[in-house]
Amino acid sequence: MGGGLVGSPVEAAPLRAAPHDHRAPATPQLVRSAEVLRLEDVTIAYDRHPVVHHISGAFQARSLTALVGPNGAGKSTLLKAIAGLLPVTAGEIRFGIDRRAIGYLPQVVDVDRSFPLRVVDVVDFGHWRKIGALHRLAREDRAASVAAVAAVGLAGLEHQPIGKLSVGQFQRVLFARLMVQEAALILLDEPFNAIDQKTTADLMDVVRGWQAEGRTVIAALHDLEQVKRDFPDALLMARELVAWGPARQTLSDENLARARALAGGWSDPAAAICAR
């Protein structure tokens, strides 16, 4: 990116000379923030075996993208790397937002459900970036937590111990926690696994609400019908990028067949060093 050049005196002069031109090129800052996230030839490997292989592309602000692909296609791995929980082996992930403004819901939330916490206590943890380990939870933060609990359809259950919740209700709680994180970019890894239709529909409304508020959402999903129905964009990957664009085109039979074919070639343990 020729970033700093526009702001330098050499380039700034012609801009001032033409103040009437409202279509003046946007500043690099704006370009960067319209693009929440850019993958530049990203490869992520476990023990040298790539699970995400040379993927490039960008997520625009306010986009709602489904991450689709067969099992083992690297969807979770890519989300973890974006969340900053895994190092990128090669290439680079560039952010147009503060990296701390990322909310991440893993596929398996490894929690002890008998843990002595109430619903609202769990949601309160969403304020961590704000209050950290030591600061007091402000009254308005608590109010935000209670509002989030209501927004995910659990109004009145704030003080319920989490051990008494169903799987679907607990997923709603985790969505409420994401909600109070006020993240600009939200990553969901298989958020609707083992979740019934009603809960899925309700939580999908929450996701659309996030998008309407200007947040960007990337969700790894398996239900292709749901993706075509609910998601404007899709990224189809099978370790390699297969297609990325409007959901219906991306999930064409042809592309899906290509993803399946790629998935067939992963069991070979003796792989040569990648020349790309």
Partner 1 sequence: MQLVHDVLAQPFIEFGFMRRALVACLALSISAGPIGVFLVLRRMSLMGDAMSHAILPGAAIGFLVAGLSLWAMSLGGLVVALVVALSAGAMSRVTPLKEDAALAGFFLISLALGVLLVSVKGSSVDLLHILFGTLLAVSDSALLLIAGASTVTVVALALVYRTLILECFDPGFLRAVGGRGGLAHATFLALVVLNMVAAMQALGTLMAIGLMMLPATSARLWTISIGRMVGLAVLLAMLSSVAGLIVSYHVNLPSGPSVILAAGCVYLVSLAVGSNGGLLRRYIRRPHLEH
Among 12, 26, 30, 109, binds partner 1 (CB under 8 A): 109
Work out how close the CB of 115 gets to partner 1 at its nearest, in angstroms, rounded to a whole number. Answer: 5
Work out how close the CB of 141 gets to partner 1 at its nearest, in angstroms, rounded to a whole number. Answer: 13
**Number of CB atoms found within 10 A of residue 38's CB:** 17
E strands, the chain, where? Answer: 35-46, 49-60, 64-68, 90-95, 102-105, 185-189, 216-220, 233-238, 240-246
Contact status, residue 120 vs residue 158, Cβ threshold 8 Å: yes
Q: Does 116 bind partner 1 (CB under 8 A)?
A: yes
Q: Does 167 bind partner 1 (CB under 8 A)?
A: no
Q: Which of 92, 197, 177, 198 is nearest to 188 (CA)?
A: 177
Among 51, 66, 117, 179, binds partner 1 (CB under 8 A): 117
The label of the residue with tokens 């990203």 reads: 42
Burial of 116 (0-12, 13-18, 19+ CB in 10 A): exposed
What's the N-to-C CA distance of the chain in angstroms?
Answer: 23
Work out how close the CB of 138 gets to partner 1 at its nearest, in angstroms, rounded to a whole number. Answer: 14
The SS3 assignment for 239 reads coil
- Return the number of the residue (125 or 266) whose C-beta is nearest partner 1: 125
Going edge to edge, which strands form the sheet with 35-46? Answer: 49-60, 35-46, 90-95
- Return the number of the residue (133 or 194) whose C-beta is nearest partner 1: 133
Residues 122-151 that bind partner 1 (CB under 8 A): 122, 125, 128-129, 132-134
C-alpha 95/C-alpha 40 separation (Å) is 11
- Return the number of the residue (7 or 163) whose C-beta is nearest partner 1: 163
Work out how close the CB of 174 gets to partner 1 at its nearest, in angstroms, rounded to a whole number. Answer: 9
Q: Is the dihedral of CA 215, 80, 84, 109 positive or negative?
A: positive
User: Total binding residues for partner 1 by CB under 8 A?
Assistant: 26
Q: Does 175 bind partner 1 (CB under 8 A)?
A: no
Residues 64-93 that bind partner 1 (CB under 8 A): 83-85
Among 7, 14, 30, 115, binds partner 1 (CB under 8 A): 115
C-alpha 193/C-alpha 191 separation (Å) is 6
- Return the number of the residue (37 or 234) whose C-beta is nearest partner 1: 37
Work out how close the CB of 21 gets to partner 1 at its nearest, in angstroms, rounded to a whole number. Answer: 43
Residues that bind partner 1 (CB under 8 A): 83-85, 100, 102, 104, 106, 109-112, 115-118, 122, 125, 128-129, 132-134, 161, 163, 177, 181
